[in-house]
Amino acid sequence: MCAMIADSLDLLLELQEYDRKLSIIREKLRELPRLRKRAQEALEKRKELLQRAREGVKKGALHVRRLEAEIDDVRKKVGKLREQQMQIRSNEEYRALEKEIAQMEERIRVLEDDELNRMEALEQIEREAAEAEKEVKDGEGVLEADLRMLKDRETDLKQQEESIRRHREDIAGQVPARLRERYERILKHVGDYAVVPIENGNCGGCHMRLPMQVIYDAKKGLKVQTCSYCGRILYWKPD
């Protein structure tokens, strides 16, 4: 095999390895904003639950207060009726008032039962609100830790990117300019690998069957061979 071609292909493969690593690192860097957003949204969700729980507590407490006011009101009315009862001489009127009082006392019992249920429900909602508050507080800690971790990851990835980029530039400088341009054009076009091995007579990129002549020439390494289907640069890999 022609030494110069073989060397160029080796360099291209090395370059490709660095490009591959760079592409993975850059993909990870691009993911970071989404991960940050997701972490923030998790806390927002907890805050929404707390907000809802607090509104529930407010509503529940208001309802209890209204019931208390109503019970108070009915009790006062009962008191007034009892005073009226003292002034009454006729039995009929007395019984009519007695009936009215009994109805009101029944109403008070119903209201008190309702109040008791409402108070129990309110206690439950208050417990939920306290729990939600704790969740928010915990969530703030989690978010802070997540953001710090993501920041560290970003720093680390950027350092790796910089180091690999420098190595890549070093190798790229050793590849003949026209071949490098060709490589970069193909890479841009195919997106994954610009240089692929010949595998069982097929292109290692698009897997189409290659003409015998192309395989033969690649094996001899007289010039750089490309796949006529996908345009990738081919290299011969002994089994």
Q: How far apart are CA 225 and CA 211, in angstroms?
A: 11
Closest by alpha carbon to 103, among 67, 74, 83? 74
Which one, 172 or 183, has the nearer CB to Zn ion? 183
Which one, 65 or 209, has the nearer CB to Zn ion? 209
Residues 6+ apart with CB under 8 A from 115: 64, 67, 68, 71
CB of 184 to Zn ion, least distance (A): 18
Task: Identify whether the C-beta of residue 43 lies closer than 8 Å to the C-beta of residue 139.
Answer: yes
Which one, 168 or 232, has the nearer CB to Zn ion? 232
In three-state secondary structure terms, 239 is coil
CB of 230 to Zn ion, least distance (A): 3
CB of 42 to Zn ion, least distance (A): 45
CB of 218 to Zn ion, least distance (A): 12
Which chain residues interact with Zn ion by CB under 5 A? Answer: 203, 205-206, 227, 229-230
- φ, ψ for residue 206 (rounded to 5)? -100, -5
Which one, 118 or 182, has the nearer CB to Zn ion? 182
